Amino acid sequence: MSKRVIEILIFSLIWLTSCSLQDDPPEPFYDNFLSSKGLFVLNEGNFMAGNGSVSFYSTDSMKIYNDIFSNANSRPIGDVPNHMGIIGDRAFIVVNNSGKIEVTSCQTMKSIAVIPGLTSPRQILFINNNKAYVSSLYSTKIIVINPENYTIKRYIDIRRTSESMILYEGKAYISCWSGGDELVVVDTSSDTVIDSVKVGHEPESMVIDQNGKLWVLCSGSYTGEYYPELVVINTVTDSVEKKFQFGSKLMYPCCLRINGTGDTVYFIERSIWRMAVTSCQLPAEPFIRASGRNFYKIGVEPESGRLYATNAIDYQQKGFLLIFNRDGTVADSVKVGIIPGYICFKQ
Amino acid sequence: MKLLRNILLVISAVSPLMADAQKNSIGDTIHIKEIVIEAKITDGITGSWKQIEIDSGLLSGKKLLSLSDIMTESVPLYIKTYGPGNLSTVSFRGTGAVHTQVAWNGVVINSPMLGQIDLSIIPSAFADEITIDCGSSSMFRTNGAFGGLINLKTKPEWSNGLRAGFDFGTGSFGLWSGSLKAEAGNNRFQSVTRLFYRRADNDFRYVNIVSYPEPVYERRINADFSQHAVMNEIFFRGINSVSSLSVWAQAATRNLPPNILMTATAPGESQKDASIRTIFSHSKYYSKSSIDLTSAVIYDKLNYTNKQAMINSLNQSVSFINKGAWETRFQSGLNVKLALNEEFNIVKSVNYNGLKQRNILSVTGIARKRIQNGGITLLVGEIISGKKLLLPDFSAGFDYYIEGKTGKFIKANLSRNSRIPTMNDLYWNPGGNPDIRNEYCFSGEINGGINHQIDKNFVVSGEASLYSHRIRDMIQWLPGDNNYWRPENILSVNVTGCETNFKMNYSTENLKYFIHIHYTLNKSVYGTSSEQMKGKQLLYVPFSQGGGNIKVQYNKTYASLNGEYTGKRFTTVDNSKFLRGYFIVNSEIGTNLQFLKSNFGFKIRVENILNTEYEMIAYYPMPGRWFMFSVNYRYGK
């Protein structure tokens, strides 16, 4: 009887080991494509899921290359890549929920360095070759890093959390987005706060137009308590010059961008809207209707003025990068990663 | 000396198996009397449905573990956990966490807000028996548990005198755990008190595979937890009646570890859970009928805090549940049961716009006609949620025992089941959707099995089940107007699966062998129109899962080996990314000593012997090899 027991035992073990533990083969890595002109798309991935990625769209070949960071480095980019800045030949990718900046080569995507231990970093702004500001969703301090040696130099206490940043005439304008309604003005030579400007509720994104005016898109509030506003700031006096109020508190515009000549701004409010900087009112009709698409971020190529937008679909599936013709018709559409977000142009 | 000889004998008996297990990345664990899964063949009203029972004897050696630990080892469920002591939810038969419910003596204790329950904070010591109602078998107790229902049962021993026992254990990563059970009374009255405590630092070492410039060993941070629980029950037995009053209070404090992608210091996430559950029940038995009445009040509190993000989310709910059932038996072999269930939920949450409440009433009628070697059963249920009358549910089944009640059998059933939305689906602010409809599921199942006694020492049994679920109007949260996420009835999911298990029990006067093997396949796919999702496996639902247990016992000394395989689990809806499958081997060796009315036990448990690196949720590492030593003492019969 014991022999039968052993036979059954051996049979059972063989049966269990027959279960496969093999992985699927990894996607092949494509060489040399990063030497072409194009744009990076940061696919945020789902919060806490670590499925963010980086895609590159070559405007020369009109091809998309996905998962380029993980293919180059055999590890994931991290949790929620949110923003990217390029200085020289290096890309600084701000990975929000991983609390780090990944520094990579623009030509190979190979890691050069990691700046870890940052509190919920959001965006990066290069002041010069050895100074950059990093905003933070949860910290009231701007992190000042040295892009040359990848160290934290100091912190600037702005007493508010921060989101988007823009550099103009030696001043950094920093928006206080999450629950805020102000811009903080920092003198970049001394790294000190010199002024603040009250704008609309939740200033989310900013651009500088051809006249040196600062355009600030204030999203309102997701609870519908405040009207969204588009605010124009005089950068000489740092005061509000014009305000355009949106028609409903239930609107939530975001992602203000400007073309290379600085005469037209674009933003998302379900659809994509376009407005001349000389206009006296908000546009009545969208430039590109959403038509079932979930526009998440847009980008305008500085040289050609070509508009790009990402469609996040349902935030679960892989999204699409849409390339538009000048008349707003779709020229091309390519699949990227989950929640395709920030678009960074590589010149 | 004799004890030492016994231990050596058992070790030598199992050591070749352990060596083989290491070589093949395979193994097994478990205590025969603690983990055996019994598919009971019953002529009761649920005879046409599959139930799995883990009885009191099987649970007695697992008093220091949580329900999630027990389930992982013994039942074809997939437990999804962020780590030891952290949030653990269950996927059963390819369905989601909200489709498996947990009941305490028949009263569902899932959160009315989330619709699910955290198995990691339910002590196994607080159940004398665990029954798993597979698939539509759950419809006899509740609605909406498409995957199944785990019922924790407590029951008194009607004997005179005092009985008491405790278990105490300590292990790796700062683990300390203790449980105590004291019973006193006579054949008319019993009082049962249970206490449970568990804590751990959980600072285990793991390889951070995503660190730059190369993978490094790190220790888990911010993962400590502690848990306290107490349960007191009193039972009264009349000539034809039993009454009971049970109170279960528990609290857990946990720090929530970040995923390994986070390079900043832990954001200070923590969670405090507290529950107070009270059940009063009264059962009256007549010659051919019975009446059961149950009233329960369940209070749950969950406080999530994130210091970095300045979040302090306090959520409280109270549920008042009243149940009544009348069952009668006619001479023609017809059993009829009528059941009424009323549940009133009140929720106060910082995430709701004011206090929210709802009332759910359900009525169920069941008729079973016994036929020569089996029976046919029909169940019809109706739910009234608020003022909405839902489409009626039903389940119809038959069972047939080919060679009497200990031989071969076949069962089949066909059902329609509904799940009403959770309170969060309805009232979460922003995004809650008061107009959301209930999910519903058509399911079919067929089971066949054999229970064969080869000779007086050798028994084998096996069972195979094939099932299919078609879940429609499944609720999924999607981005809606104004960027709010909002639940919608858009998903459909199709599940086709099979469960198999095989058991062998061989015993002589002093020596016992036990083997149990189970294997489950679940093809659980999206049925949406999206090209990326259509036909793809659901997130975190493994296609294949299996395991086995071997136990050898010589007199009072035993050794056991348990191995559990979990196949790859997809982490993106297009199935382009996944977690690798893994195989975990656990082992235990122990002995018991008897002195008069006292019984002492000692055991050493080794978890994850092969030191397998694995994750149950992406970027949340699980511990490698670790140890636990425990002692127990029992006084009384």
Q: Which among B87, B221, B263 is the top mutation candidate for probing chain A, defined by the most A β-carbons within 10 Å of its own β-carbon? A: B263
- Report the run of H or E that residue B12 belongs to, with start and end: helix B2-23
Q: CB of A248 within 8 Å of any CB in chain B?
A: no
Q: Nearest chain B Cα to A338, which residue?
A: B572
Residue pLDDT, tens place only, B497-549: 999 999 999 999 899 999 999 999 999 999 877 888 899 999 999 999 999 99
Burial of B555 (0-12, 13-18, 19+ CB in 10 A): middle
Q: What is the mean pLDDT of residues A27-48?
A: 82
CB B270 within 8 A of CB B248: no
* Separation in Å, CA of A6 to nearest CA in chain B: 10
- Rounded Cα gap, residues B603 and B560, in angstroms: 11
B484: nearest CB among A19, A97, A222: A222
Residues in chain A closer than 8 A to B17 (CB atoms):
9
Nearest to B533 among A99, A111, A317 (CB): A317
**pLDDT given at position B15:** 36
Residue B262 vs residues A50, B423, B589: alpha-carbon distances, Å:
10, 32, 39
Q: Which residues of B120-129 are buried (b: 16+ CB within 10 A; e: fewer)?
A: bbbbbbbbbb
* Contact state of B573 with A111 under an 8 Å Cβ cutoff: no
Q: Which of A2, A17, A122, A318 to mutate to test the interface with B (most CBs of B within 10 A)?
A: A17
Mean pLDDT of A326-338: 96
Of A71-75, B25-29, B442-446, the poorest mean pLDDT is in: B25-29
Provide the token pair at B143: 């609605």
What mean pLDDT is predicted for residues A219-224? 83
Show residues of chain A in contact with B550, CB under 8 Å: 9
DSSP for A9-77 reads HHHHHHHHHTS--PPPPPPPPPPSGGGSSEEEEEE--STTTT--EEEEEETTTTEEE-SHHHHHHSS--
Pairing of strands B439-455, B458-479: antiparallel
Any CB–CB contact under 8 A between A17 and chain B? yes
Q: Which of B504, B532, B546 sits opposite A318 (nearest CB)?
A: B532
CA B165 to chain CA centroid, nearest Å? 24
* Nearest chain A residue to B311, by CA: A138
Q: Which of A55, A98, A219, A249 to mutate to test the interface with B (most CBs of B within 10 A)?
A: A98
> Of A256, A289, A260, A290, which Cα lies nearest the Cα of A275?
A256
Under DSSP, is residue A168 helix (H, G, I), strand (E, B) or coil?
Answer: strand
Q: Is the ipTM above a cut-off of 0.90?
A: no
Closest in A16, A116, A312 to B263, CB measured: A116
Residue B3 confidence (pLDDT) above 60 = no
B37–chain A nearest CA distance, Å: 17
Q: Which of A12, A20, A314 sits opposite B515 (nearest CB)?
A: A12
Res B62: pLDDT: 81
Residues of A (176-205) whose Cβ lies below 8 Å from B: none
Instruction: Using CB atoms, pick whichever of B261, B519, B582 lies closest to residue A98.
Output: B261
Q: Does residue B464 have a pLDDT over 90? A: yes
Output the pLDDT for position B482: 58
Nearest to B548 among A16, A73, A250 (CB): A16
- How far apart CA B381 and CA B313 sit, in angstroms, is 37
Mean pLDDT of chain B: 88
Enumerate residues 6+ apart whose C-beta is below 8 A from B167. Answer: B63, B64, B125, B177, B178, B179, B180, B630, B631, B632
**Closest chain B residue to A292 measured between Cα atoms?**
B480
Q: Cβ separation of B482 and A252 shorter than 8 Å?
A: yes
Residue B11 has pLDDT above 80, yes or no: no
Instruction: Give the residue on A whose Cα is nearest the Cα of B208.
Output: A75
Inter-chain contact B482–A224, Cβ cutoff 8 Å? yes
| pLDDT tens, residue by residue, B167-179 | 999 999 999 999 9
- CA nearest B504 in A: which residue? A5
pLDDT-derived band at B637 (thresholds 50, 70, 90) equals low
Optimal mutation site among A16, A67, A134, interface B, most CBs of chain B within 10 A: A16
Q: Check: pTM over 0.90? Answer yes or no.
A: no
For an interface test with B, the pick among A44, A47, A67, A75 (most B C-beta atoms closer than 10 Å) comes out as A75
Smallest Cβ distance to A316: which of B481, B502, B573?
B573
